[in-house]
Amino acid sequence: MCTVRVLILILTLAVLHAQPATLREAADQRPLLIGAAANADEYGMANRLNEPQYASTLAAQFNMLEAENAMKWSSIHPSQSTYNFGPGDKLVAFAEAHGMKVRGHNLLWHSNNPDWVNTYAKTATPAQMSAVLEDHIKTVVVHYKGKVFAWDVVNEAIPDNPSGAGTPLRDSIWYNQPGIGQTGTGYVEQAFRWAHEADPNALLFYNEYSIEGPGAKFDAMLNMLKDFVARGVPIHGVGFQMHIDTNGYPSSAGLAQNIQKVTALGLQVHFTELDVRIRVSNGTASAADLQSQAATYQRVTTVCLQNPGCTAIQTWGFTDKYSWIPGFFSGFGAALPFDASYQAKPAVGAMIDAMQTVAPVLSGSAVVNAASYAAGAVAPGEIVTLFNVNYGPPSILEAVFDGSVLSSNLGSTRVFFDGIPAPFIYALVGQSSVVVPYAVAGKQDTVMQYEYNGVRSNSVTIPVVPSAPGIFSLNQSGTGPGATLNQDYSVNSAANPVAAGGAVQVFATGGGTIVGGATDGAVATGAGAQTLNVTATVGGLPARVLYAGPAPQLVNGVLQVNVEIPQGLSGPQPLAINVDGRPSQPGITVAVR
């Protein structure tokens, strides 16, 4: 978000917090992808998207959908020369119309292969099978390029009770009957490589069941993932299917451990096919079972939110009217959050409750200088950005005044340093910016905590330094042309350079305390001075500092340094300041004529 907005201070009214009524509203505050598998008119069935309650529930409650069947081989590629994109396209169009993301499922599976390919496999050579698979993966992924943001590339390649070292694999036409001519996990790897060639921007997932808790199947999968990551195979995540019941598998600790082992590799986790089956007689479940089902939905939602890197929860369908469970698990049903009349079951409130009560996760390394993005330590008055905190306003709230100071409570968001709430520059789930209170001056470290809607994060202890200078960059990347003004207050740029011997105003933060003190969040009314010594270089040469202090009309914490450009320079020149021996980030430039 616009950190340079501090230089402009566009003020808007704070939006009052409203209690989320839907899964989607609650998820947008985390921010969590909340999805459902959905159907259009695949296999010649009546298009479910035309059923008003089906469509309205899907759009209101979820910010993501996945084709339950429409993008599988037998639906999308019914004969060797025919692709049937219609049903999948309808799901994509529905998602686009309702601002939802689309997961694609799936490109390679031992199951659901059309008759023609199973017949072909009986006499085909591995080279022929390879050509068929490459054509399929590339044709489907290219068709949905830019529309499907994440693909289950390979589904369920590992057998249920794997024994032996490495990654035992399930028999299939793609692996060994006859296979595509690759050994071991080579066929899985090849599928990821083809998908990546077809859409380099799509996130590519390996999707599996019975890997949600610890066990031999998870270990076999992890071996493959480690090998793929180590060798740079294009894989970005793992789908935990999560077809579960109320008997306690996976345990919360086991699920957390498995998520952490996957995310430690730099991969993300999506719960892709969550349903919680319970006993039914004549389609009806007991009230007690519906409650324990709700508790299970709440429990796994909680574990996901507690573990950064678990970024999506998707249910396998959403209404008990349409669910694969009764047909596949005899005696079970009622597995989804909405009943057969589209009424919310206890599971819906339970998931919303988890999304509203699980503590946001604050990481010390995600607190950075708002100008340079340098992490590590904070200085009094430094404008910092907090990234990745997973609970907050779903859309950006910009600074507002509370009397004469910037409010330290923006849409029920607060950030504390040793218990002192910090003035906000803006607040948004996943990215907020505040001014470090001057009261941290002189301390060794400060204890930070974040709060949204009254729910506090963990505390993190961050070292305090007297200064931590960072220069704002024009494009907010932290490098390149600095946010600098020429003497006539026009923005310095290659097209509008400063003359050597002239001066520029450099805008930075992290300059430390102000002579005479400064009020947190107040606007600097006039010139002042930094307590610490400020020097500057341009083009590597010492440059005279004409002024170093608060930036008049801007919030305390913005450091303005007026720098004289040494003679003899021209073109883009490296620009740096140094406060009390601590330098600003490298890579900032000023244009000199």
The residues carrying an active-site annotation are 156, 273
Q: Is 189 in the site for ligand XIL (CB under 6 A)?
A: no
Q: Which is nearer to ligand XIL, 28 or 245 (CB)?
A: 245
CA distance 466 to 580: 8
- d(Cα 434, Cα 409) in Å, to the nearest integer? 10
Contact set for ligand XIL, span 144-163 (CB under 6 A) = 155
Q: How far apart are CA 332 and CA 327, in angstroms?
A: 9
CA 518 to chain centre: 36
Number of residues that this document lists for the chain: 593
Cα gap 558→536, rounded to integer Å: 16
Asked if residues 538 and 471 have their Cβ atoms less than 8 Å apart, the reply is no
Q: Which amino acid is at 229?
A: V
Nearer to ligand XIL, 68 or 245 (CB): 68
Task: Determine, following the binding rule CB under 6 A, whether residue 172 of this chain makes contact with ligand XIL.
Answer: no
* Chain-centroid distance, C-alpha 18: 23
Dihedral of alpha carbons 105, 313, 427, 448, sign: negative
Q: How many residues interact with ligand XIL (rule CB under 6 A)?
A: 6
For 28, the enclosing helix (H) or strand (E) is: helix 23-28
Choose which of 83, 116, 149, 324 interacts with ligand XIL (CB under 6 A): 324
Between helix 86-97 and helix 52-61 the angle, nearest 10°, is: 60
Residue 322, interface with ligand XIL (CB under 6 A)?
no
Closest approach of ligand XIL to the CB of residue 79, in Å: 20
Can you tell me which of 69, 531, 584, 589 binds ligand XIL, judged by CB under 6 A?
69
Q: Which residues within the stretch 204-243 sit at the binding site for ligand XIL (CB under 6 A)? A: 241
Residue of closest CB approach to ligand XIL: 324
Residues 1 and 438: their CA atoms lie apart, in Å, by: 24
User: Which residues are CB-contacts of 34 (< 8 A; sequence separation ≥ 6)?
Assistant: 23, 24, 26, 27, 61, 62, 63, 64, 312, 313, 314
- Residue 503 carries which side chain, given as an amino acid letter? A
Q: Of 314, 306, 305, 320, whose CA–CA distance to 272 is shortest?
A: 314
Whether the CB-CB separation of 59 and 100 falls below 8 Å is answered with: yes
Give min distance, CB of 135 to ligand XIL, in A.
22
User: Min. distance of Cβ 288 from ligand XIL in angstroms?
Assistant: 27
Choosing from 189, 273, 320, 451, the residue that interacts with ligand XIL (CB under 6 A) is 273
State which residue, 29 or 314, has the beta carbon closest to ligand XIL: 314
Which residues contact residue 26 at a Cβ distance below 8 angstroms, ignoring those fewer than 6 apart?
A: 20, 34, 351, 352, 355, 356
Cβ neighbours of residue 207 closer than 8 Å, sequence gap 6 or more: 105, 106, 152, 154, 155, 156, 238, 239, 241, 272, 273
CB of residue 72 vs ligand XIL: minimum separation in angstroms?
A: 7
Tell me: does residue 296 bind ligand XIL (CB under 6 A).
Answer: no
Q: Does 68 bind ligand XIL (CB under 6 A)?
A: yes
In the structure encoding, which two tokens stand for residue 271, read together?
């719960």
Q: Measured from the CB of residue 221, what is the shortest distance to ligand XIL in angstroms?
A: 15
Contacts of 134 (CB under 8 A, 6+ apart): 194
Kindly state the smallest distance separating residue 105's Cβ from ligand XIL, in Å: 6
Is the separation of the CB atoms in 154 and 192 below 8 Å?
A: yes
Name the residue nearer to ligand XIL (CB basis): 206 or 472. Answer: 206
CA-CA distance, 269 to 304, in Å (whole number)? 9
The 8-class DSSP code of residue 101 comes to E
Report, in Å, the least distance between residue 208 CB and ligand XIL: 9
CA-wise closest residue to 208 among 256, 259, 255, 273: 273
Min dist. Cβ of residue 113 to ligand XIL (A): 12
Give the span between the Cα atoms of 114 and 117, in whole angstroms. 6
- The CB-of-399 to ligand XIL minimum distance in angstroms stands at 46
Site for ligand XIL in 508-537 (CB under 6 A): none
Can you tell me the distance from the alpha carbon of 377 to that of 418, in angstroms, rounded to the nearest whole number? 15
The Cα 83–Cα 76 span in angstroms is: 5
Enter the tokens of residue 545: 């500092």
Q: Least separation, in Å, of the C-beta of 110 and ligand XIL?
A: 11
Using CB under 6 A as the criterion, what x/- string covers residues 463-492 for binding ligand XIL? ------------------------------
- How far is it, in rounded angstroms, from Cα 469 to Cα 427? 22
Binding site for ligand XIL (CB under 6 A): 68-69, 155, 241, 273, 324
